[in-house]
Amino acid sequence: MRHPATRIAARPRAGRDRPRRAATVLAALTLTTLIAGCGATGARTNAGAREESPAGFPVTVTNCGETTTYQRPPRRAVTMNQHTTEIMLALGLDDRMVGTAYLDDRILAEYRDEYRRIPVLAERYPSYEALLKQAPDFVYGGYASAFGEQDGRSRKRLREAGMRTHLNIANCTDGRVGISEVHEEIRTIAKIFDVPERARELIDRMNATLSETQRELGEVEPVSVFVYDSGTKSALTAGGDGIADSIVRMSGGRNVFADQRDGFVDVSWEQVLQRRPERILILDYGSTTVEQKKRLLLSKPALANVPAIKHRRFAVLPLSTAVAGVRVPRAVAELSEQLHPGRFR
Q: Which range of residues forms the domain containing residue 237?
A: 219-343
Residue 118 Cα distances to 111, 121, 126, 130, 165, angstroms: 11, 9, 14, 15, 19
User: Does residue 199 lie in a domain region?
Assistant: no
Rounded distance, CA 86 to CA 89, Å? 5
Q: Give φ, ψ of 280 to 5 degrees.
A: -120, 120
Domain boundary, last residue among 140, 155, 172: 172
User: Does residue 103 lie in a domain region?
Assistant: yes
The total domain count for the chain is 2
What are the pLDDT digits (tens) for 160-203?
999 999 999 999 988 899 999 999 999 999 999 999 999 999 99
For the chain, which residues score pLDDT lower than 50?
6-49
User: Does residue 22 lie in a domain region?
Assistant: yes
Supply the pLDDT for residue 42: 36
Q: What does the radius of gyration of the chain's CA atoms come to, in whole angstroms? A: 22
| Same domain flag for 268 and 336 | yes
Supply the pLDDT for residue 86: 98
What are the pLDDT digits (tens) for 200-256?
999 999 999 999 999 999 999 999 999 999 999 999 999 999 999 999 999 999 999
- Residue 343: CB atoms within 10 A of its CB come to 15
| Same domain flag for 283 and 147 | no
User: Does residue 208 lie in a domain region?
Assistant: no
Burial tier of 259 (Cβ tally within 10 Å: 0-12, 13-18, 19+): exposed
Supply the pLDDT for residue 344: 79
User: Does residue 85 lie in a domain region?
Assistant: yes
Containing 223, the helix (H) or strand (E) segment is: strand 223-228
User: Helix or strand or coil: residue 230?
Assistant: strand
User: Does residue 308 lie in a domain region?
Assistant: yes
pTM (predicted TM-score): 0.85
Rounded distance, CA 266 to CA 238, Å? 9
Q: What is the CATH number of the domain that holds 164?
A: 3.40.50.1980
DSSP H helix total and E strand total for the chain: 12, 15
Q: What is the DSSP letter of 242?
A: S
| Same domain flag for 246 and 153 | no
